[in-house]
Amino acid sequence: MPELPEVETIRAGAAKALLNQRITEVTAPHPRAVRHHEGGPTEFASRLRGRIVTEVARRGKFMWAVLDDDQALLVHLGMSGQLRIHHPGPTQPEPHVHQRVCLTLGDGTQVWFVDQRTFGYLRVTELAPTSDGLPAGWGTARALLPEPAVHIARDLLDEHVDLPALVRATRRRRTDIKRALLDQNLVSGVGNIYADEALWAARLHATRQTNALAPKRLTELYQAASAVLREALQAGGTSFDALYVDVAGNAGYFERSLNAYGRVGLPCLRCGSSMRREVVGARASYSCPRCQRRPAVRASV
DNA sequence: AAAGGGACCTGGCTGC
DNA sequence: TGCAGCCAGGTCCCTT
C-alpha cells in the first residue's frame, strides 16, 4: 500500500511522538509482525525496552528509529501497515482488530503497529555505512542505514539523489520502464500508483524499454515522478480506503488528484480518450491510449 | 548477473 | 443468500 508520500507522512508523525522518548514496554502479540527479527518476539522486546529514540529516518519506503545504543528499529509497512499514536488521556483508545505490536513510551504514549495483510514487519538491527558516505535519507544527518536496507537506492525526494547517474543506470537496464520505476534498488519510494502517475505525466507507456529511452526523456520522467511524489506528500498521501491513514487515523486526500491510477474507462484529463487498464510486470497499469502509445513490438533476436 | 515469476497474507467486492 | 474467484498501495526468493 504505502509509497513514499504515505511513509513520509507516517514518519513525520511518528517522529513527533518518538523523538527523545524512552521505550518502556513492548508487546508483540502477533509473532509474524517480527518474523524478520532474528531473535524472535522475546528478544525483540528486550532489545527495545529501556532504549531512547534519537532519530526517526526514512529512505524510500523503509523507515527506522535510531536508538541510543546505535541500533535501529526498522519498520516496513508492506501493503497495509500503519503506525497509530495514542497519547495518554482519560479514555482508552479503541483497540484495532489488526494490532500487531505495541510500544509504550516514557510519557505514556502508545505506538501501535497495525497491519491487515501482515506483509509489513518490525525488526531491531545494526546500522551500516551508506555506500556514498552521505546522510542516509530524510530525518537523519548520519551516513548510516539499517543493515537490511543497505541495498535500497536513494529516493527521488532525497537531497543527495544523483539524477544524471540514475538516468545512466536506467539506460543500462534492459526492461520495461515501469519495472525500472518499481525497482527499489534503482530508485526507491515509487510504487504502483505513483509509477502510473509519473508515466502519464511524461506521456510514456509502461512497456517502453529502458535502454531505448533518450536521457532527456528519462530525465523528464524522473522530474515528473519527483513532482508527483512532492504533491502527494503535501496532500498527506493517497487513501482509497481505511488501509492508509496517518498516525492519528486521518486519511490523505491526494486521491482526488490522481490522473491515471484506477481511472479505467474514464476520460484522459489531457485528451479525453478513454483510459485503459493493462497488466505490466504482473501489476495493473493505467494509461491513456492516445497520450501513451505502446511501443512497436521489437523483433526477438 | 540481471530479469521475471510466484509466494507470502487478509479481506472486500463481483458475479454466478 | 452463499460462495468461488478475483483483486489490492510491496518485497523477497528462486529460477532462468
In tens digits, chain A (301 residues) has pLDDT values of 699 999 999 999 999 999 999 999 999 999 999 999 999 999 999 999 999 999 999 999 999 999 999 999 999 999 999 999 999 998 887 888 999 999 999 999 999 999 999 999 999 999 999 999 999 999 999 999 999 999 999 999 999 999 999 999 999 999 999 999 999 999 999 999 999 999 999 999 999 999 999 999 999 999 999 999 999 999 999 998 889 999 999 999 999 999 999 999 999 999 999 999 999 999 999 999 999 999 987 544 3
CA of A281 to C1' of B4 (A): 8
- Alpha carbon of A243 to those of A114, A139, A209: distances in Å? 10, 25, 33
- A36/B13 CA-to-C1' distance in Å: 32
Distance CA(A145)–CA(A143), nearest Å, equals 7
Give the model's pLDDT for residue A92: 80
Q: Which nucleotide is nearest to A183 (CA to C1')?
A: C11
Cut 0.95: pTM above it: yes
CA of residue A93 to C1' of nucleotide C15, angstroms:
48
| Known catalytic residue at A2 | yes
Q: Is the CB of A35 under 7 A from strand B?
A: no
pLDDT at A203: 98
Position A299 scores a pLDDT of 45
A20 burial via Cβ count (<10 Å: 0-12, 13-18, 19+)? exposed
**Cell numbers given for A215:** 536521457
Strand B nucleotides within 7 Å of a protein CB: 2-6, 8-11
* CB of A116 lies under 7 Å from some atom of strand B: yes
Are A55 and A140 a contacting pair, CB within 8 Å? yes
The closest of A289, A300, A301 to A206, measured between CA atoms, is A289
Which nucleotide lies at the shortest CA–C1' distance from A172?
B2
Q: What gap in Å lies between CA A268 and CA A115, rounded to an integer?
A: 34
Is A283 among the catalytic positions?
A: yes
The predicted structure's pLDDT at residue A300? 43
Å: A273 CA to C10 C1': 31
In this predicted structure, what is the pLDDT of residue A196? 98
In angstroms, the CA of A259 and the C1' of B7 are apart by 32
Residue-level pLDDT at A1 = 66
Q: Which H or E run includes A25?
A: strand A23-27
Catalytic residue, candidates A11, A58, A61, A263: A61
Q: Which of A's residues 75-104 have CB atoms within 7 A of nucleic strand B? A: 79, 97-98
Give yes or no: A126 in active site: no
